[in-house]
Structure 1
Amino acid sequence: MKDVYEIAVVHGDGIGPEVCGAAVEVVRAALGSDGPLRFTEYPAGAEHFMRTGDSFPASTFQACRDADAILHGAGGIPGVVRADGTEAGLDFTLRLRFELDLYANIRPVRLFKGVTSPLRGVGAGDIDYIILRENSEGLYAARGAGALLRGEVAVDTLVQTRKGIERIVRKGFELARQSKGAPEDGVRRVTCCDKANVLRSYAFFRAVFDEVAADYPDVATEHVLVDAMAMHLVLRPAHFNVIVTENMFGDILSDLAAATVGGMGMAPSAEIGEAKGFFQAAHGSAPDIAGKGIANPYGTILSAAAMLEWLGHKHEDERLSRAADHIRSVTEACLADGLLSADLKGTASTHQIRDAVCERVMRDHARLKR
């Protein structure tokens, strides 16, 4: 346990400052005025790139590297690109993943009471699984390293290593062991999602998965091809517990999955390595609604709760673990009570959601201190 935890806050672009600001206020409310977290803001993103020509200042990277955890709002603005056509605002997220070796991207997918799924006949409790996205390799490892020849041929390389596969698969089995199992049958299950029937790189991923699985005989396993998985997440989401997959596949599937539980505003994520953790909702910057006060902060609030849980476990600090539990339970209660943002077909503003969650967690904090 530490006296003070340094949290690097990067609000980013579009709705980033609105949702990130809401999450910071909720964490402060959950921990009280004497809480051990110290939040310091740093610049990065597409808007900073437009002002300065630098999307990720060296001073911000150093602060993130030195911090106990990093909390982010959202990054990128469509059309704000570098000379090679890639989005300038994405540098922040991608550099942290690769340079801090944040190899595990944990994306919980859960349908809460009060939120309507577009899937017919599916209700709260029917969807509750994790997409575990390998975060440091795969096709995205080629960013900045691919080739464009004479404006005629472009090549990016998909990279899979034994070490990278082994550690993400082990993380998947650990998460399954800690879970309640799949909603459908209560079975703790890890699903390997790949394209092993076509590409050697994915056949290698599957082979290493099977080797690691032998160390976890108490957890069920299965293989599902990625194209079939896209169908199964719509037709039988209650079957899944933990899905482990390559970087790009995880990116795509987690967006599809988010749509089944209310949209990207309900999509928290935790990106962790052996030493560092980076927390943000999986949604983009949504510049079309920025400043209107209607952005959904729940995804970022739940990401902040994941940050507290990770810090609490890492440093054996029950204060942080309890605060994470309180934020999650209050979030669940607010959604069940109908406090819904516009994307969830509600009328609550970002500030109304923030204030309601803060009020309830402060009440819980004061009650527990008595």
Structure 2
Amino acid sequence: MPNVVVLAGDGIGPEVCASAVEVLRAVAPDVELEHHLLGGGAYDQTGSPFPDATRQAVLACDAVLLGTVGGAQNSPWNSLPRPLRPESGLLQLRMALGVYANLRPVKVMPGLEGFSPLREDLARQVDVLIVRELLGGAYFDPRRAIEGDQAYNTIGYSKAEVDRVARVAFDAARTRKHEVTSVDKANVLEVSELWRGVVQDLRDREYPEVKLEHEYVDSVAMLLVKTPGRYDVIVTENLFGDILSDLAAVIPGSLGVMPSASLGDGPGLYEPIHGSAPDIAGKGVANPTGTILSVAMLLRHSLGRDTEARRIEDAVQGALEHVRTPDLGGQGTTQELGAAVLARL
């Protein structure tokens, strides 16, 4: 029997997770659910943002559903030493799970084109999956320092690190349009030369049916806005992926509708991309769509239940035709939108 650990977290996390859990129970009643602590609330109760009980639970489960972590800028949590802050709990969670590939689907749902900053004809074309390497590159390379009036960071990747995230992208492309764009800066960076070579070799050996293009990151940043419909699956390293995925995040018109998955060789981690939004926490107006769609990704990638995932995605699309939370110009509540999704299931 599959086991899913739910980490509701802080801010609006408990509210959006509650709606998502109801949807998960509706389509997969056999899944066992465990609820554990993470983030600021975990620190308040246990003295750690990532308690040992949570660590043990996530390492023994099949998948993790996460809400949000963190508080307002003036939160007492922000005056804690960095290892004790809520965001440190999230980083420790990702490291414990060993998730090395972040998947962020970007799509403008029918009827929501008017909320996108792009022209409506361009917004309708958008259906891209950004696969970002999560555990390497400049963010994690230990070769860094501030020395007097100079500082440096290092972008380093091994062939194995590139190969494993590229496989995730190619496997995803096989379920989509069979097109991958590998993003680098190989005209000036040696690490990008290695990246490009590894991705090309993998495609030639094991994924000959997938069309592969190599593009520079500055060009992709421009074309994601100018002609976004040209992309199917984008795969790139940590720093470039961080920037491109945040650029693409504004395209659907609200962060509240966007899910994400972080995958490795063990349990997957699924969460909405929005923050904890402490200013609206407890008001019942948070958009649960991103968390509900994260459940769909959980079912697809960790439990192999694509049919149930598609049911959720279709139900969300239908629900948004009638109920919208304030971030989408409506007056619906978190519970009302969640109930509308359930009704369509």
TM over 0.5, shorter chain: yes
Match of 1:353 in 2: 337
CA–CA distance in structure 1, aligned partners of residues 216 and 81 of structure 2 = 32
- Residue 6 of structure 1 contacts residue 39 of structure 1 at CA under 8 Å; is this kept in 2? yes
Match of 2:175 in 1: 178
In structure 2, the CA distance between the partners of 1:87 and 1:162, relative to structure 1 (3 Å rule), is farther
RMSD: 2.3
Q: Secondary structure at the match of 2:65?
A: strand
| Residue 8 in structure 1 maps to residue 2 in structure 2 | no
Q: Partner letter of residue 199 of structure 2?
A: F
Match of 1:304 in 2: 295
TM-score w.r.t. the length of structure 2 is 0.90
Match of 1:185 in 2: none
CA–CA distance in structure 1, aligned partners of residues 23 and 87 of structure 2 = 26
In structure 2, the CA distance between the partners of 1:339 and 1:269, relative to structure 1 (3 Å rule), is same
| Deviations, residues 260-306 of structure 1 (Å, cap 9, x unaligned) | 11221121111112232111112211112211211111011000111
Q: Partner letter of residue 25 of structure 1?
A: E
| Deviations, residues 48-94 of structure 1 (Å, cap 9, x unaligned) | 33555411111111111111111000122354347665882222332
Q: Structure 1 residue 194: deviation in Å?
A: 1.6
CA–CA distance in structure 1, aligned partners of residues 237 and 18 of structure 2 = 31
Residue of 53, 63, 70 corresponding to 1:76: 70
Match of 2:224 in 1: 233
Counting matched residue pairs gives 339
| Deviations, residues 15-35 of structure 1 (Å, cap 9, x unaligned) | 11111111001111223xxx1
Residue of 317, 325, 329 corresponding to 1:332: 317
CA–CA distance in structure 1, aligned partners of residues 225 and 64 of structure 2 = 33
CA–CA distance in structure 2, aligned partners of residues 8 and 29 of structure 1 = 17
- Residue 58 of structure 2 contacts residue 97 of structure 2 at CA under 8 Å; is this kept in 1? no
- Residue 68 of structure 2 contacts residue 275 of structure 2 at CA under 8 Å; is this kept in 1? yes
- Equivalent positions of 1:61-210 (< 5 A) are 61-77=55-71, 79=73, 80-81=77-78, 88-116=85-113, 117-122=116-121, 125-142=124-141, 147=145, 155-179=152-176, 181=177, 188-210=178-200
Residue of 264, 269, 273 corresponding to 2:255: 264
CA–CA distance in structure 2, aligned partners of residues 78 and 147 of structure 1 = 30
| Residue 252 in structure 1 maps to residue 243 in structure 2 | yes
CA–CA distance in structure 2, aligned partners of residues 36 and 322 of structure 1 = 15
Q: Partner letter of residue 58 of structure 2?
A: C
| Deviations, residues 292-326 of structure 1 (Å, cap 9, x unaligned) | 2111110110001111122332xxxxxx4432221
- Residue 77 of structure 1 contacts residue 87 of structure 1 at CA under 8 Å; is this kept in 2? no
List alignment gaps of at least 5 residues for structure 1: 182-187, 314-319, 362-370
- Residue 103 of structure 2 contacts residue 260 of structure 2 at CA under 8 Å; is this kept in 1? yes
- Residue 113 of structure 1 contacts residue 123 of structure 1 at CA under 8 Å; is this kept in 2? no
Q: Structure 1 residue 193: deviation in Å?
A: 1.1
List alignment gaps of at least 5 residues for structure 2: none
- Residue 82 of structure 2 contacts residue 88 of structure 2 at CA under 8 Å; is this kept in 1? no
In structure 2, the CA distance between the partners of 1:166 and 1:311, relative to structure 1 (3 Å rule), is closer
* Identity level (%): 40
CA–CA distance in structure 2, aligned partners of residues 108 and 332 of structure 1 = 15
| Deviations, residues 83-139 of structure 1 (Å, cap 9, x unaligned) | 665882222332233332212211111111121222113366411110001122122
Q: Secondary structure at the match of 2:235?
A: strand
In structure 2, the CA distance between the partners of 1:350 and 1:142, relative to structure 1 (3 Å rule), is farther
Q: Partner letter of residue 8 of structure 2?
A: H
Q: Partner letter of residue 323 of structure 1?
A: E
| Deviations, residues 138-163 of structure 1 (Å, cap 9, x unaligned) | 223248x854568x665543331110
CA–CA distance in structure 2, aligned partners of residues 124 and 232 of structure 1 = 13
- Residue 112 of structure 1 contacts residue 124 of structure 1 at CA under 8 Å; is this kept in 2? no
CA–CA distance in structure 1, aligned partners of residues 4 and 146 of structure 2 = 39
| Deviations, residues 162-183 of structure 1 (Å, cap 9, x unaligned) | 101011112211211211x2xx
Q: Structure 1 residue 236: deviation in Å?
A: 0.7
Q: Structure 1 residue 46: deviation in Å?
A: 2.5
- Equivalent positions of 1:283-294 (< 5 A) are 283-294=274-285
CA–CA distance in structure 2, aligned partners of residues 288 and 139 of structure 1 = 33
In structure 2, the CA distance between the partners of 1:138 and 1:78, relative to structure 1 (3 Å rule), is farther
Match of 1:317 in 2: none
- Residue 112 of structure 1 contacts residue 261 of structure 1 at CA under 8 Å; is this kept in 2? yes
